């Protein structure tokens, strides 16, 4: 058994390394690659991914998993060995159901769809992508069809990104969250607007860059095992637990985008840097799900990064870096500015209160499309209608409406949005638990100390990698199933104060 387990790990290590190398190629492609490298790069990434896939769906892996079943059953559920076999089996059983020919066909289609979207968005031309999207919907349904016995057609698609989550669970959570959010947004809209003009001055790029490095270093992002570079769309990527890199984007007319972008990505990265080194080279050396990953980035970006204790410590430093711009702006006004709530059209630029409404709209539309209740030709109109209802704003065009996110144009429909809001809900539930164990955390943050919080997150969440599903993790860490109460309480408390509701 020991020998078979070693053999399985040897194979997994090679697959992990192939995938990690493909990630490095992708990182280089978006950071430093000259344009002439594009053709070879696409080919080389595809080769590595194909090799990794072939090595994973190799029937020998299936046989090893079968042979290891009695061994696994004799081990404690949360031992590394049992968890590895369990998670690999879950992945393997899913992967082998999807024919390689289908994957190839889908990838070619999505590449063409993405190309079409790249042209259609600036031209505000939904009609151009509509046939692609119709085909993507068909592919998404076929993909779900490979997984027998699901309750809802979107379930297998959601399961790729948030294992164990289902439409039933998410619909319930999101439905109740929406009921809470819509009135809060309306109440805030009735209050005087917050003045955030202090954030829209000229903040020189180099100073912003250095500031972002200083802040995330202080939070605990380990530069011995990571680095920050620039890309148009920020992301986090891992080539090993010892090399987890982030990227950011800085705009000179806006202090918020670069700084909070860096904090957000550092949150993702600290999660992966915090995985136990013993899990390196296995599928356990990864985040538990989209939702759990997002809970870590949003916790640092919003719950910590937009909190008053945080800025009690950092604001004098920021004022010292930008004395002309912020020297005369009081802490109070700055904190209000970075927490301004304003219903808007664009998800990625949305504030903390309205953000989830953007996500819930997309989730509901995805589900409606998959169920056949909504046709692609009616999608743009359905989008506008929901924005009017939920956010009180109506997109004047599709560019800032249904064409705004890349997700449906370079990926399948179903499963790609729920993680953002699941992450917000989890973040609040995790943080509430951390606070009850360590009520001193906010006072420490006021002193620029993040050790207690970081140690708690590493001990309870980061170190486990993918050993537990999101639901298991939430139960283990907080003693309760996932619930919106802590998140709603957090939003009510914070924004009730800012807007004197």
The residue ranges that bind its own copies (CB under 8 A) are 14, 17-18, 20-21, 24-25, 28, 32-41, 43-44, 47-48, 222-227, 229, 239-243, 245, 280
CB of 339 to its own copies, least distance (A): 33
Active-site residue, selected from the candidate residues 257, 265, 272, 352: 265
Q: In what order do the strands lie in the sheet with 236-240?
A: 228-230, 243-248, 236-240
Main-chain dihedrals φ then ψ at residue 95, nearest 5 degrees: -60, -40
Q: Which is nearer to its own copies, 5 or 240 (CB)?
A: 240
Residue 265 annotated as catalytic:
yes
Nearer to its own copies, 208 or 247 (CB): 247
Least distance (Å) from its own copies to the CB of residue 16? 9
Q: At its nearest, how many Å lie between its own copies and the CB of residue 53? A: 15
Q: Which is nearer to its own copies, 35 or 122 (CB)?
A: 35
Name the minimum Å distance from CB 323 to its own copies: 25
**Closer of 285 and 413 to its own copies (Cβ):** 285
At 254, is the secondary structure helix, strand, or coil? strand
369 vs 363: CA distance, rounded Å: 10
Cα gap 164→288, rounded to integer Å: 11
What is the C-alpha separation between 358 and 90, in angstroms, rounded? 31
Determine the Cα–Cα distance for residues 309 and 311; give it in Å rounded to an integer.
5
Give the burial class of 273: count Cβ atoms within 10 A of its Cβ; 0-12 exposed, 13-18 middle, 19 or more buried: buried
In the complex, the smallest distance separating the C-beta of residue 242 from its own copies, rounded to whole angstroms, is: 3
- In total, the chain counts a number of residues equal to 501
- The answer to whether 2 touches 10, Cβ cutoff 8 Å, is no
According to DSSP, the residues that pair with 246 across neighbouring strands are 228, 236
Nearer to its own copies, 145 or 277 (CB): 277
- Across the chain, which distance is largest between two alpha carbons, in Å? 69
Instruction: Report the run of H or E that residue 412 belongs to, with start and end.
Output: none
Phi/psi of residue 150, nearest 5 degrees: -75, 160
Q: Which residues are catalytic?
A: 265
């Amino acid at each position: 058994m020991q020998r078979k387990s070693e053999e399985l790990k040897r194979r997994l290590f090679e697959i992990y390394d192939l995938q990690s190398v493909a990630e490095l190629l992708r990182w280089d492609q978006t950071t430093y690659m000259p344009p002439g490298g594009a053709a070879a790069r696409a080919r080389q990434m595809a080769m590595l991914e194909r090799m990794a896939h072939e090595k994973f769906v190799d029937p020998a892996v299936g046989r090893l998993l079968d042979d290891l079943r009695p061994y696994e059953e004799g081990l404690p559920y949360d031992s590394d060995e049992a968890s590895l076999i369990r998670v690999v089996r879950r992945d393997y059983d899913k992967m082998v159901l999807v024919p390689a020919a289908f994957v190839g066909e889908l990838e070619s289609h999505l590449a063409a769809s993405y190309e079409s979207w790249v042209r259609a968005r600036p031209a505000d031309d939904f009609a151009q992508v509509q046939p692609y999207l119709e085909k993507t919907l068909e592919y998404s349904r076929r993909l779900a069809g490979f997984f027998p016995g699901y309750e809802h057609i979107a379930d297998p698609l959601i399961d790729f990104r948030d294992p164990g989550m289902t439409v039933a669970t998410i619909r319930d959570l999101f439905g109740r969250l929406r009921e809470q959010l819509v009135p809060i947004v309306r109440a805030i809209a009735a209050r005087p607007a917050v003045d955030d003009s202090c954030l829209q001055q000229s903040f020189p790029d180099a100073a912003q860059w250095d500031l972002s490095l200083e802040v995330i270093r202080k939070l605990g992002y380990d530069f011995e095992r990571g680095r920050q570079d620039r890309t148009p769309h920020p992301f986090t990527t891992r080539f090993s637990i010892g090399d987890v890199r982030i990227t950011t984007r800085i705009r000179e007319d806006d202090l918020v985008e670069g700084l909070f972008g860096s904090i957000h990505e550092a949150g993702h990265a600290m999660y992966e840097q915090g995985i136990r080194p013993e899990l390196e080279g296995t599928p356990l050396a990864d985040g538990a799900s989209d939702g759990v990953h997002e809970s870590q980035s949003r916790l640092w970006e919003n719950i910590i990064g937009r909190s008053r204790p945080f800025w009690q410590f950092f604001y004098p430093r920021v004022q010292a870096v930008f004395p002309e711009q912020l020297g005369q702006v009081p802490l109070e006004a700055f904190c209000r500015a970075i927490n301004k709530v304003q219903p808007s059209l664009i998800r990625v630029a949305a504030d903390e209160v309205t953000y989830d409404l953007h996500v819930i709209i997309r989730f509901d539309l995805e589900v409606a499309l998959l169920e056949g209740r909504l046709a692609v030709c009616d999608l743009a109109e359905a989008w506008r209608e929901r924005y009017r209802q939920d956010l009180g704003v109506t997109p004047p065009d599709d560019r800032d409406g249904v064409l705004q996110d890349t997700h449906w144009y370079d990926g399948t429909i179903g499963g790609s949005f729920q993680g953002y809001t699941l992450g917000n809900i989890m973040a609040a539930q995790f943080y509430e638990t951390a606070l009850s164990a360590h009520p001193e955390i906010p006072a420490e943050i006021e002193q620029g100390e993040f050790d207690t919080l970081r140690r708690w997150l590493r001990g309870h969440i980061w170190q486990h990698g993918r050993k537990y599903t999101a639901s298991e993790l939430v139960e283990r860490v907080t003693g309760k199933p996932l619930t919106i109460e802590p998140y709603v309480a957090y939003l009510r408390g914070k924004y009730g104060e800012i807007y004197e509701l």
